[in-house]
Structure 1
Amino acid sequence: MARLSRWVGRHVPTRESVEANRYLRPVAHRILAPALWRFTRRSVPRGVALGLFTGVLFPFAHMPLAAVTALPVRANVPVAVGTTLLHNPITTVPLFWAAYQLGHWVLRFDRSVPGAPIASNVKANVGLLHWLVSQGGPSTIVGLVLIAAILSVLGYFLTGLAWRIRIGRKWRKRAARKGPKQAI
């Protein structure tokens, strides 16, 4: 544990190093705004929703994108960046498979459409590129958008609920410590 904390201490940038970075200097006052780094009941669920959305929808550079988009929506930056880790090398294949299956189901590529059925057209042109452009790509994109939207809404509400439960427990503990009120 001590080794991990030393590694984090060496590699995580400090506020001063972010302010001193010449590339971030023009926007440092926005990035380092204290409201974006505080854990509040409004900023944390926003950060979770934003991180889940960008983590699922954008497979590359999702962390910087989450940090940049956290600024205008006033979401917690560390939470937004941290929740993008849902999309990692271990979860990429199951996520894309689920997105393809969901998109395939939503778009109903196996059903007949007025005119010629899509499935018969795909079978006629068996090439992988044709399948990717006509069926695989659209299904995966639609599925990713749906999964990103559903996960971000669920993340927002579940984080808000967890926050309320946590605060309720704190209030009950505080009330139990003070004991019953005495009449004057």
Structure 2
Amino acid sequence: MMQMLCTLRRWLRGLEPQVRGRIQGSWLARFQPWLEQRAMFRFQRQPLARGVAAGMFCGLIPGPLQIPGTVLVCAWLRGNVVAGGVATFYTNPLTTVPLYALAFYLGALVMPGEQPLPAWGSVAPDGDFSVQALATWMQALGTPLLVGLPTLAALMALLGYAAVQLLWLTPALQRRRRWARGR
């Protein structure tokens, strides 16, 4: 496990010169000072953790706005755009409905009173999945969903940030423990 984490860290650090080289030869070259200041393409612990947190937060934004939202949040938080973009992929057609149901339950926990989850069969009587049925079901979720989505997004961002920090520091902490035992 530790060997795999060290290999991952080396691979990520090796990506940085490649990304910088591609930026030099593209239309982004004139923005390089701004990009450098924002750490948007640094593959170090803090920018990666912030990028993953931004991607996890923006992953719950509907459809095509996930990546642009992640880029803006990464610029604001000085996070890695590549890590943020990859982190948005935890939402996909297979995970959207369970994540939205979880967001509904989180919103129902926060809101006063009982908030029942609308049944999928009420919007799609034959049980078939369609974009229109999904949109109708999401509208039926109402206020608990509107409260639960930002709550779930913040929770996912916090978990993503903590996971990157923990994974990045695990080899160093293990070396420190071995060193302390050897004394």
TM-score relative to the length of structure 2: 0.62
1:76-118: per-residue Cα shift (whole Å, max 9, x none)? 111111101111111111111111122123213428xxxxxxx
Q: Where does residue 165 of structure 2 map in the other structure? A: 160
Residue 96 of structure 2 corresponds to residue 92 of structure 1: yes
Whether the 8 Å CA contact 2:55–2:85 is kept in 1: the answer is yes
Judging changes above 3 Å, is the alpha-carbon distance between structure 1 residues 169 and 34 closer, same or farther for their aligned structure 2 residues? farther
* CA distance in structure 2 between the aligned counterparts of 1:159 and 1:132, rounded to whole angstroms: 32
SS at match of 1:61: helix
Cα deviation, residue 171, structure 1: 6.9
Cα deviation, residue 62, structure 1: 0.7
* CA distance in structure 1 between the aligned counterparts of 2:29 and 2:41, rounded to whole angstroms: 18
Whether the 8 Å CA contact 1:64–1:81 is kept in 2: the answer is no
* CA distance in structure 2 between the aligned counterparts of 1:172 and 1:37, rounded to whole angstroms: 32
Q: Where does residue 71 of structure 1 map in the other structure? A: 75
* CA distance in structure 1 between the aligned counterparts of 2:172 and 2:69, rounded to whole angstroms: 31
Unpaired runs of 5+ residues, structure 1, are 1-13, 112-130
SS at match of 1:67: helix
Q: Where does residue 155 of structure 2 map in the other structure? A: 150
Partner amino acid for 2:43? Answer: F
Cα deviation, residue 60, structure 1: 3.2
Cα deviation, residue 165, structure 1: 0.3
Whether the 8 Å CA contact 2:38–2:78 is kept in 1: the answer is no
Partner amino acid for 2:172? Answer: I
Whether the 8 Å CA contact 1:30–1:71 is kept in 2: the answer is no
* CA distance in structure 2 between the aligned counterparts of 1:149 and 1:27, rounded to whole angstroms: 30
Whether the 8 Å CA contact 1:56–1:86 is kept in 2: the answer is no
* CA distance in structure 2 between the aligned counterparts of 1:58 and 1:166, rounded to whole angstroms: 37
Q: Where does residue 30 of structure 1 map in the other structure? A: 34
SS at match of 2:39: helix
Q: Where does residue 3 of structure 1 map in the other structure? A: none
Unpaired runs of 5+ residues, structure 2, are 1-18, 116-136
User: Which shifted more, 76-85 or 153-162?
Assistant: 153-162
Q: Where does residue 49 of structure 1 map in the other structure? A: 53
* 1:53-132 to 2 correspondences below 5 Å: 53-110=57-114
Cα deviation, residue 72, structure 1: 2.6
* CA distance in structure 1 between the aligned counterparts of 2:138 and 2:40, rounded to whole angstroms: 41
Seq. identity, %: 30
* CA distance in structure 1 between the aligned counterparts of 2:138 and 2:97, rounded to whole angstroms: 16
- RMSD of aligned residue pairs (Cα, Å): 3.5
